[in-house]
Structure 1
Amino acid sequence: MTMSKGRAVVMLLLTATSFGCATPIRAVLKEQAPTFRESLPATADSSLGGQEQSRGWFWWKEWFVAANKCFSGLQKTATGLNNLTAVYDESAAGDLKAELGSNVRGGLSGQSARKVTVTLSNLEDVQLSDVQFIPESVCVPGSGGEEAFTNPQGVTFPVVTHALKAGSINIDDSSRVTGGAQVEFDPQPGANVNATVKVEADGSVTWDGINLVIARRSEPMTVVAKRSACTAPVGGAPCPVQGTQCAFALESMDVLTRKWSGTLSCPNAATGSSLQIVLDNVLFGRIFTLARVTKPDSNGVAMPVDTSVLSADTVSVAPGKSISLRVDYQGSLVGNAATAHFDVWSTFSPR
């Protein structure tokens, strides 16, 4: 039966019966998901596209993900993963709260000989594909920091590309004897507000729709920038963007308002046609970054989007590449040409 919906609170009475050793979530992950790094306490944030970092010393390291994301891409999900089952007793009293974080209140301390079994199910491996660098992110330091990316070896980042997410948690108090310690589960901010809690026929409690991330995997991603420039005549031949198959055409410019309009054309391998990206009334000197654009219409025309957006409604301008475009006014009163500067940021796995 369904007990509640939304911000639900479930109270479980722990037993007073003796059981065997504890196997907390982190131990289960090391055994059954060795390619992932634990991300505990569990949270609702996948951190895909974030940079994994560590702090500590030789014998101890703490891993975390930087708050500012430097990479974007498309998300895809792998399902059908095996359930993970953790066991907590008095020896693992601290682990229960440490691993589930603010989703749990109370614990096993204060009583002897008890056990709680936690089964994580509806597991998903949420993956970031078609990874692209965000040039305007904090990963590009100011004062000439961009130059490091123009070296042949580029700059390598450990990027979170996989997040192991649990959709449901079942809590089983195996003897279900009343009078024990009380445990409360409550969805933390950011969790699915449509989560439901129900009592199963065997007396255990299942919490569905929680979508908590319990582990992550990062991959090294190398970013190399290639710079080029071209004199773009108004209405003239398009400028090739070196390092891609794209070309930029300057269609108009206004020396009074200091604005220009143009089109970046890139071949669309999926359709065999050309992807037309319209840039209208852009200020001279503004750096315009293109990594993902909205899906093109019937005429092949697409519009730029925020490069940090992760959406299936966008397509890559050039797979694995981000293009930074800046058009500078050359100073002629006639206004018949401008200089187009291109930075092409290529993202690839060095493996």
Structure 2
Amino acid sequence: MKTILAAYSGVKKGSGSSILSALRDLPWPSRSKMEKHLQVISVLQWVLSFFALGAACTVLLVYMFCTDCWVIAAMYTTWLIFDWNTPKQGGRRSSWVRNWTVWTYFRDYFPIRLIKTHNLLPNRNYIFGYHPHGILCFGAFCNFGTEATGFSEKFPGIKPSLATLAGNFRLPVLRDYLMSGGICPVNRNSIDYLLSSNGTGNAVIIVVGGAAESLDCAPGMNSVTLQNRKGFVKLALQKGADLVPVYSFGENEVYKQLILEEGSWWRYGQKKLQKFLGFAPCLFHGCGLFSTESWGLMPFSKPITTVVGEPITVPKIESPSQEVVDMYHSMYITSLRNLFDKYKTRFGLKETDTLEIR
């Protein structure tokens, strides 16, 4: 208070040097603290957007129809209907949004890193299989939905499109936010367009385990849902897109989850809800906004390292037999295991740790 009064006194006396001196004496937060605050804010806005932006904007749109702003709501709804199929046709990617400074703070909160192991040719298309799902796929979003980890610099000529739940693109505003990052619906029409009608140099990132895998994501777990997931392999064969295994070390560490016992009524209900809702009703928690000791929705600051493996060359076969699909699926599993085993000790795991394929 004395410092502020001194500054005010300097103003009264017309002394600029007194003002500067007083301002320098104010208890400004350090640069490191400011950066940490910005990191927290950047992650918080994404978590809140993921959980609430679509629902909040839907409620707001309905409410506006009951007010004097109904004309604005009607105009937006008309445009929404007109624009409905855009997510299925490559979306509306924005380099400006993908390069927002906020994503660098998002990256540094954990921190998140992207490791390149092999070159990718721009004259080919690719399907990246991302593992594991984790709770909110922080690694997948940061690496492929933004330029914070330098994807375009590491893989010149390759345009990533992260595939997520199609239901997200039915929600106002959220759909545009996702599309601006190059995120697309994980459905056949959208992926067909990217791999067939959008030239070459496209990489569709599919979180293969999906919502079902997120039910088994917890610190210390090294398991992926892949054994019976063969649709992405068949699609790669039909489009002649090379398969690329991707593993994110640390994705399971950022939230703690209560894993319900397999075979219990609680687990049964959880799986039924997952199939009905399209996403998994996980019982998880992170840390609080102001303290790592309290519970909250903020993820723990644990490093996430995403390793992009060697591409598996896939021929184009419009109607592949089940034997051919099984063969390439087996090749993919072997490649993913090799990737995990090669890098596990570099990123915090023990030599004895193994990757469980479910």
- Normalising by the smaller structure, the TM-score range is under 0.3
More helix by share: 2
Q: TM-score, normalised by structure 1?
A: 0.26
The structure with more strand, counted as a fraction of residues: 1
